[in-house]
């Protein structure tokens, strides 16, 4: 099966980020491959290693995101497309889905995989928007992915339990990071990545995005509460007395 994995470079959310004057301040150098996309790529690698096929990756982002493209190639993707937008271009989920649809229309992949959301926006929209634009059957929030003949079998995490869904190809699946632990590229992969094909082309967004971010705020904090002390039986009695009526 031939895959295309859509990837994004995002800020490293585990790095220090401060709120200053309603904006987020962070080290611009701390960027990573979106963890959910890494899981999608890992899933494709496992399947192609078992069943054959190739994996293209496509990234929408500024020039400097080329580092993330190389990371995906180092993990084992076959080749890459980088849809280059000018640095600082505001994009929303719809704009990204439109750019990806423009790129993917007319290409014959068996399956398109994306992470279920991006770690910075946590929006979780572009994958299903893309499926709609391309007219593909899709499933979201995959925690398991298998190949069964010509079908892609998705184990989807639903609200109550899991659904096992067989999708005909071509199809699109958005992936949870609960699916796997993405491999860390070794030296061999890193060296090989330097020789793999990357087609970078500038793309323009047609219009200003409908969704914009005006600024940022801190999460509301809960006030500190009461610490209960004493021996365990007394703490328990004290707590139950205080909760009476709520339970």
Partner 1 sequence: MPTILSVVAVQGGAPTRTSLEVLTRCREIAAARGWTLAAAIVAPDAGTAADEAARFGAATVYTASVPDGALNPPVVAALAAIVERADAAIVAFPSSEATKEVLGALAARTGAAVLPDVASFDATEGGVTARRPVMAAKFLAVAEATAPRVLVSVRAGSYAGAPADAPSTPETIAVDVPAAETRQTLREIVAATTGGAVDLSEATVVVAAGRGVKDAEGKRLVEELAAATGAAIGASRAVVESGLFPATAQIGQTGKVVSPEVYFAVGISGAIQHTAGMSNSRVVVAINRDADAPIHQTATYSLVGDLYQILPALTAEIRRAKGLA
Tell me which residues in 51-110 interact with partner 1 (CB under 8 A). 92-94, 97
The helix or strand, by DSSP H or E, that contains position 103, with its residue range, turns out to be helix 93-104
β-strand 151-157 against 162-168: which pairing, if any?
antiparallel
Question: Shortest Cβ distance from residue 31 to partner 1 (Å)?
Answer: 13
x/- track of binding to partner 1 for residues 138-177 (CB under 8 A): xxxx-x---------x-x-xxxxxxxxxxxx--x----xx
CA distance 25 to 32: 17
The answer to whether the peptide bond before residue 170 is cis (omega within 30 degrees of 0) is yes
Question: Shortest Cβ distance from residue 205 to partner 1 (Å)?
Answer: 15
Q: What are the tokens at 36? A: 């959910």
Asked if 131 is part of the footprint of partner 1 (rule: CB under 8 A), the reply reads yes
CA distance 238 to 229: 9
Of 13, 46, 192, 198, the residue at the interface with partner 1 (CB under 8 A) is 13
Q: 185-214: which residues touch partner 1 (CB under 8 A)?
A: 210-214
Burial class of residue 59 in the structure, from the number of CB atoms within 10 Å of its CB (0-12 exposed, 13-18 middle, 19+ buried): buried
CA distance 107 to 71: 23
Asked if 236 is part of the footprint of partner 1 (rule: CB under 8 A), the reply reads yes
> Is the CB of 68 or the CB of 117 nearer to partner 1?
117
Pick the stretch among 42-50, 70-78, 133-141, 182-190 that binds partner 1 (CB under 8 A). Answer: 133-141
Question: Shortest Cβ distance from residue 66 to partner 1 (Å)?
Answer: 23
Question: Shortest Cβ distance from residue 164 to partner 1 (Å)?
Answer: 4
């Amino acid at each position: 099966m031939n895959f295309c994995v859509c990837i994004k470079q995002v800020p490293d959310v585990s790095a220090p980020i401060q709120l200053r004057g309603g904006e987020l301040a962070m080290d611009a150098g701390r960027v990573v491959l979106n963890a959910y996309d890494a899981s999608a790529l890992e899933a494709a690698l496992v399947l192609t290693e078992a069943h054959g096929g190739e994996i293209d990756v496509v990234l929408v982002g500024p020039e400097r995101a080329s580092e993330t493209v190389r990371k995906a190639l180092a993990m084992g993707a076959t080749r890459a497309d980088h849809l280059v937008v000018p640095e600082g271009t505001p994009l929303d989920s719809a704009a990204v889905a439109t750019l990806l649809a423009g790129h993917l229309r007319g290409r014959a992949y068996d399956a398109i995989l994306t992470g279920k959301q991006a770690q910075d926006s946590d929006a979780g929209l572009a994958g299903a928007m893309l499926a709609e634009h391309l007219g593909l059957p899709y499933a979201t929030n995959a925690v398991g992915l298998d190949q069964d003949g010509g079908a892609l079998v998705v184990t989807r995490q639903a609200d109550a339990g899991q659904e096992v869904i067989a999708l005909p190809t071509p199809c699109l699946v958005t992936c949870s990071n609960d699916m796997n632990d993405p491999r860390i590229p070794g030296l061999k992969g890193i060296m090989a990545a330097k020789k793999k094909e990357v087609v970078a082309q500038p793309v323009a967004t047609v219009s200003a995005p409908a969704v914009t971010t005006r600024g940022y705020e801190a999460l509301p904090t809960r006030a500190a509460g009461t610490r209960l002390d004493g021996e365990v039986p007394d703490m328990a009695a004290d707590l139950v007395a205080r909760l009476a009526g709520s339970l």
